[in-house]
Amino acid sequence: MGSLGMDRLKAGQWRGPLLFALFVLLWLLHHPYEGIRHDAVLYALQALKHLHPEHFARDVYFLFGSQDDYTLYSFFYAGLAQGTGLGQAALLLTLSGALAWCFAAWRLSSIWQGGARWLFLFLLAVMPIKYGGSEIFEVAEPFAVPRLWANALTLLACALWLQQRRWLALACWLAGMAMHPIMALAGAMLVFFYELRFTRQWAWGVLAGALAACALALFEAPMFGRLLQAMDAQWFDLLHKRTSYFLFPSEWVARNYNTLGFHAAALLWAAWLAGETWQRRLFLAACATGLAGWLVALVFGDWLHSVLVLQMQTWRTLWLMYVFGWAAVAIVSVQLWRPARFVVLGLWAAWFLRDYSGSLILLLVALLYWQRAHMGRVAERVLEAALAAAVALGLVWVAVGASTAYLAVLPGSELNAARTVFVWRDALNAGESALTLAIALLAWLAWQWKRPAALGLLLAGVLFLGYGRSWDARSPQLKLLEGGSLWQQTPFNRHIPVDATVYWLGGWEQTWLLLGRSSYFSRQQSAGLIFSRPLAMEIYRRYQNVYPLAGSLARMKFPTREEMLRRQTDALSDIVPGTLPALRRACADPGLDYVILDKRHEPHALAAWHAPFFSGGVYLYACETLRKN
């Protein structure tokens, strides 16, 4: 082999690792770690209970079982936290899960070649992949939850299945099931639809499976018995009050359905363009996976109130549909840019205007694509200009209008779409845009280089190490809170027995992470009411008990985006929080042992604590003393 051949071989050996390193760096850049937040607080609590069962045995979240019954994640979380501390364990689990996700995405992308593969990876790294009502969930969330690992393992299982490595794919899928069964369900459904054939054998097999499920439900087998059990009106009403903004597809807003329509249209377009049968089946299977989960949730959950379907939240299969949806967008963009550029521009216009007219734009573009043979050259150019203007309008709105309307309320959420296309917006984050451009340029050069790319890999490593500290975006205060350095060192711990229940007004996080005690009530704990009717009743009883004390701070559900934008969150209740009569009323419940408020009521305050966490100080009250007086 000549020197030129050796150079090309060496370049091929280096190019893969370099491009993967750049993909990881790009993903981490757009998914910074913000600590134990969102559902991560619940899994942190579950890990703490494994480590200190006596401290959290009376926490309302565990009184009637919990989500911990359906995952092995907390077991590994607790084992790691025992050696490193809770905060460091959460960071390591998130980072390793992110790397596993990037590897799974890289492996999946290898089934496509050329520009479509690299565009797919780029979109996967920088575009927000949010699903469900109010887009409350995101694929591969950058915090310590089992969904991150389940997403990675399920996506890897799909890639391995498509590459004919079936036994290894099955092992990855089972590991994903052990992390989060609902997330892994999407992978099983995609394989089912991908392998589905319209033959007599398949028809008999599907019928046999349906009859077996019905039989298990009729005989009330574990879990299956809930399939035919309808949620009673009182339980359903509590669930609706707590989670209506995201759980029920019938109440999703236009943005959610425009996003769904965008990905469905891209998948159908890619299936139409696919030159090979397996690719067509794959895109149709991905579309069917998401739509089937959504339809089951709508019919059997929203309308028939099936307990099992409501608990499974089958619409979560949309996550996998949306991942493959970005692959479809990449393929459509590459294949149609020259012959039908208006389709690509139409897709992007629909994405950036999904709050308003996304579905209408998709429908218009589809109709025009169907009739493109009758379009004149001038008409096509006018259409392209109009759609390009729509894309620009969407960018301007997100980058300028959204910066003033959303920045103070939803930082890092509504602005993701603008970040991903490098809008020149110095006021927001020009540094991030410049770094993204630099990474993309380096990736393009690595793809084109004919010489060994060792220097590029070294440069990627330098960039990675340079950005590593920035990826951990937690504030020093949050690091201290999660580090556990104050555990058992607060002035309150010596007054509160380890098995006591505490209601900290607006401070559920401090109750678990600072005090290490059971929380009496919080909005976060009410997330488990979907899995247990007794828990739903107990949560609501406690909510009624503390509402006169806390007012809007004790609300059962998260405020909607509209409520946050209108600044109505604090005006939901006219109740003045923390009054002494309301404190006495809350303490009348024998299940509540201590209350912590930011108001001092002499002579009842048992202890005070002034720390950086609390600007005006907080005060401890013993309910037993208040009940006696």
End-to-end CA distance of the chain: 94
Query: Averaged over 116-122, what is the pLDDT?
Result: 90
What pLDDT score was predicted for residue 407? 40
Query: Other C-beta atoms within 10 Å of 216: how many?
Result: 15
Residues 6+ apart with CB under 8 A from 481: 87, 509, 510, 513, 514, 613
The answer to the question of residue 502 being in a domain is yes
176 versus 450: which is more confidently predicted? Answer: 176
CA–CA distance, 345 with 389 (Å, rounded to integer): 9
Alpha-carbon span 596 to 608, nearest angstrom: 9
Residue 526 has pLDDT above 90, yes or no: no
Answer yes or no: are the C-beta atoms of 153 and 104 closer than 8 Å.
yes
pTM, entire model: 0.86
CA angle (590 as vertex; 585, 591 as ends), nearest 5: 105
Give the whole-angstrom CA distance, residue 428 versus residue 410.
13
- How much is the pLDDT for 420? 40
Report the amino acid identity of residue 379. Answer: A
- 522, part of any domain: yes
Residue 449 per-residue DSSP state: -
The number of C-alpha atoms within 13 Å of 330 and in the hemisphere containing its C-beta is 23
Q: Establish how many alpha carbons lie within 13 A of residue 442's alpha carbon, considering only the half-sphere containing its beta carbon.
A: 25
Quick check: helix, strand or coil at residue 175?
A: helix
Report the SS3 class of residue 480: helix
pLDDT computed for residue 1 by the predictor: 41
CA neighbor of 152 nearest in space, from 31, 262, 280: 31
Reduce the secondary structure of 306-320 to three states and give it as a string.
EHHHHHHCHHHHHHH
Half-sphere exposure (CA, 13 Å, Cβ side) for 172?
Answer: 22
Rg (CA), the chain: 26
Domain that holds residue 490: 486-628
pLDDT at 460: 59
**C-alpha count within 13 angstroms, C-beta hemisphere, residue 598:** 13
Q: State the DSSP code for 276.
A: S
Of 28-32, 106-110, 294-298, least confident by mean pLDDT is 28-32
Rounded-to-integer distance, Cα 313 and Cα 334, Å: 35
The answer to whether residue 19 sits within a structural domain is no
Residue 131 backbone phi and psi in degrees, to 5: -145, 165
- Amino acid at position 586, single letter: A
Structure confidence by residue, pLDDT tens digits, 372-424? 767 777 777 887 788 788 777 766 665 554 444 444 444 444 334 434 433 33
- 186 pLDDT more than 70: yes
Q: For residue 621, give the H/E element and its range.
A: strand 614-622
Give a yes or no: residue 568 inside a domain. Answer: yes
CA distances in angstroms from 108 to 100, 137, 327, 343, 566, listed in the order given: 12, 22, 10, 25, 42
433: Cβ contacts below 8 Å, ≥ 6 apart: 419, 422, 423, 424, 425
Supply 16's token pair. 């893969």
Closest CA to 183 of 81, 50, 316, 34: 316
Give residue-wise pLDDT tens across range 204-258: 877 887 777 777 666 666 666 677 788 999 999 888 888 877 889 999 988 888 8
CB atoms near residue 546 (< 10 Å): 24
Tokens of 523: 């909005």
E strand or H helix at 609: strand 607-611
Residue 439 confidence (pLDDT): 61
User: What token pair was written down for 591?
Assistant: 């299940």
pLDDT digits (tens, 9 = 90+) for 266-301: 999 999 989 889 999 999 999 999 999 999 999 999
3-state secondary structure 339-391: CCHHHHHHHHHHHHCCCCCHHHHHHHHHHHHHCHHHCCHHHHHHHHHHHHHHH
- Longest C-alpha distance within the chain, in Å? 94
* Rounded Cα gap, residues 267 and 286, in angstroms: 8
Q: Tokens in use for 114? A: 């050329």
Mean pLDDT (the chain, rounded): 80
Q: Is residue 49 part of a domain?
A: no
Residue 250 lies in a domain: no
SS3 annotation, 536-587: HHHHHHHHHHHHHHHHHHHCCCCCCHHHHHCCCHHHCCCCCCCCHHHHHHHH
Domain total of the chain: 1
Residue 368 lies in a domain: no
Task: Name the β-bridge partners of 609.
Answer: 618
Element (H, E) at 272: helix 254-273
- Residue 276 in any domain: the answer is no
